[in-house]
Amino acid sequence: MDKRSKIALYSIGAIIVLLMIAEVTKPKPLNWRNSYSAADKIPLGCYVLYNELEPFTSSTIETSNESLYERLKDFPNATNTTLLLINDYISVEEEGSNALLEFVENGNTVFISTNYVYGAFADSLNIEIDRDYDGFFKDPSKSIFTNKNLKANERLFRDVIENSFFTSIDTSNTTVLGYMIDENKIRKEVNFTKTPFGDNGGAFYVHSNPFAFTNYHLLNDKADYAATVLSFLPKNNSILWDNYYKSGRKVIKSPLRFILSSPALKWTFYISLIGLIIFVIFKGKRTQRIIPVVEPLKNSTVAFTQTIGDLYYQHGDYSNIIHKKITYFLEFIRTTYYLETNEFSERFIQKLAVKSSNTVQDTKALIDLITFLKSKNNHTEKELIALNKQIEHFTKNTI
């Protein structure tokens, strides 16, 4: 690679490093995405609400990550349960609507807080929620209760709000629990209702200001209002928190989408891609001739040793072979485990077993056999085979 190419490559590398440093050190922008997810700590998430639900039930709190149909079909005869649905819009498929109506008909409670609501269950309750874009869509509005004893917990919402309200309710069966009123007290609209359903005490509580339950408002003097709304729900019911019908629900359908959803993985992917492009540009053309393959010299030592061994074996000189195998094995112990082989004591056997990862029994059996064979002048073929097998077994278990 010439000097000019090196300078260009180093310059590109320096630019990439500077871009990485700038990306890592820049302040993270505040995420104002409408989420309502229990896991999100962003302003419009519901992390605070989900973790403060304990005072509103004397029973359990569960989370559902499935559609209403999939979740409610698992316990069709459930009772004393309150389902919380909080999102920008609640759109339930027909099967889910039927499951929801049956769920409430069995005596359970459903709390819905949303700007829009769609589905067969909404038609059955004769409720519609909308907003007036020409009126006070984003204007400050106060959320109040029909019960005058709750006046202390009413709150004025000045920002981060969309003033949705009921445009249709079943007046013969629905109780109005709250209103929203503009700052000048000129306009008053229904924003909180209760609709009984079935003969077992089940009911729908529908609220049209989901922003009131987000982290932003709960941490900015609106917690009392949200707590008062939830206090209308049955106290002894277990709570089922919906985490499926959420704008911030995490949906990952491909590995690439998962990578791009994480800033760290995204930048790793981009840098790898840039690196590959640079490699292709600068290494696309070979800088030298192809180096011919040179066959390495064959190691004839093994073949020579095999020949000599066969020679000893054919002549029946077992003692000589055993002597050489013992000598080689002891040298192996000295060079590999740094142990002296002058004396085969119990301490020596213990150390050798530990260092070679063999059992003490196997090590002692091999050393005893070596001691026995060294004490003899004449040896048989069976003794040679036994020694060879034990040495192979020993070295096979060696680390």
Kindly report, residue by residue over 72-99, the tens digit of the pLDDT.
Answer: 877 667 788 999 999 999 988 899 999 9
d(CA 245, CA 243) in angstroms, rounded, equals: 6
**300 falls in which pLDDT band (50, 70, 90)?**
low
| Cβ proximity of 226 and 218 under 8 Å | yes
Residue 352 has pLDDT above 70, yes or no: yes
Supply the pLDDT for residue 197. 93
Counting residues of the chain whose pLDDT is more than 70, the rounded percentage is: 88
**What is the pLDDT confidence band of residue 356, given thresholds at 50, 70 and 90?**
confident
Confidence (pLDDT) at 308: 62
Question: What's the pLDDT tens digit per position in 366-390?
Answer: 889 889 888 888 888 888 888 888 8
Q: Are 148 and 162 in contact (CB under 8 A)?
A: no
Is residue 209 within 8 A of residue 177, CB to CB? The reply is: no
Q: For all residues of the chain together, what is the average pLDDT? A: 85
Residue 14 has pLDDT above 60, yes or no: yes
Res. 150 pLDDT band, cuts 50 70 90: very high
Q: Which of the two residues, 300 and 390, has the higher pLDDT score?
A: 390
pLDDT computed for residue 249 by the predictor = 60
Q: What would the DSSP string read from start to end of 382-395?
A: HHHHHHHHHHHHHH
- For the record, the structure tokens of 185 come out as 């007290």
Give the pLDDT of residue 53.
Answer: 92
Q: What is the pLDDT of residues 92-141, one digit of tens each?
A: 889 999 999 999 999 999 999 999 998 888 999 999 998 876 677 888 99
Which of 338, 394, 396, 351 has its CA nearest to residue 369? Answer: 394
Q: E strands within 108-246?
A: 109-113, 116-118, 128-131, 141-145, 155-157, 164-168, 175-182, 188-197, 202-207, 238-242
- CA–CA dist 351, 335 (Å, integer): 14
pLDDT over 70 (residue 302): no
pTM: 0.60
Residue the block writes with tokens 């759109």: 91
Confidence of residue 306 (pLDDT cuts 50, 70, 90): low
